[in-house]
Amino acid sequence: MDGHEIQYENRTTISTYWHNKSVDLMASARVLWRAMEVDRQARLTCNATYKMLVGMSLELLLKAHCVGQKIENPRIEKTHNLTELAGIAGIKFEKSDNKILEVLSEYIVWDGRYPAPKDPAKMKRHWDNIQNTAFDREPLGSLEVLKPNNTFCLDNLHRIWRGLSDEYLRKYNET
């Protein structure tokens, strides 16, 4: 095996590489979040990219758990569905966090990269999931209004990431 083949083998089979890439993506999401906090235009134009980066970071962290456990499942390479990856890795989340993971999965697959999915029904389902996850319904007279609830703020998403990362470091740290 030459040096490139050894590096490839290491990067695909040593879970620390997967964890480190997750750390890089979360750091990038944090930088973008901070820019969005101070710049109204960035808040409008970068929100989907921010959620895509957080989702990708969580995806890599879940895959780090799978690599750490040496799970051989072809779905690991093919899916970006965070709840599916959590199931493969044997990680359980609260129902409210599963809803967040479901929304972030769509940002990974299409909403962070493309204006629309290939299937229009996916767009409607995604928008409904966002509405049901990122907003609280409150009465306003005889009407019901949606109020943002900060579900996708950095502190909340980092809480999920930190829990996964801490568990990873306890179980599989291969330094």
Give DSSP secondary structure letters for 27-71: HHHHHHHHHHHH-HHHHHHHHHHHHHHHHHHHHHHHHHHHHHTT-
Mean of pLDDT values over 49-56? 98
Helix, strand, coil % (nearest 5) of the chain? 75, 5, 20
Q: Which residues contact 124 (CB under 8 A, 6 or more apart)?
A: none
Mean of pLDDT values over 26-35? 97
Mean of pLDDT values over 18-34? 97
pLDDT exceeds cutoff 90 at 67:
yes
Cα→Cα distances 110→3, 8, 52, 125, 171, Å: 35, 28, 9, 13, 32
Mean of pLDDT values over 30-50? 94
Tokens representing residue 25 in the block: 């993506």
Q: Which residues contact 153 (CB under 8 A, 6 or more apart)?
A: 33
- pLDDT at residue number 160: 98
Compute the half-sphere exposure of residue 29: CA atoms within 13 Å on the CB side of its CA.
28
- Yes or no: say if 160 and 100 are a contact pair by the CB < 8 Å rule: yes
Q: How far apart are CA 100 and CA 130, in angstroms?
A: 8
Burial class (CB in 10 A: 0-12, 13-18, 19+), 53: buried
Q: Report the percentage of the chain scoring pLDDT > 70.
A: 99
Lowest mean pLDDT among 13-17, 38-42, 59-63, 66-70: 38-42
pLDDT tens, position by position, 111-170:
999 999 999 999 999 999 999 999 999 999 999 999 999 999 999 999 999 999 999 999
Q: Report the percentage of the chain scoring pLDDT > 90.
A: 91
Average pLDDT, the chain: 95
99-132 burial by CB neighbour count: b if 16+ within 10 A, else e?
A: bbbbbbbbbbbbbbeeeebeeeeebeebeebbee
pLDDT exceeds cutoff 80 at 70:
yes
Amino acid at site 74: P
pLDDT exceeds cutoff 60 at 174:
no
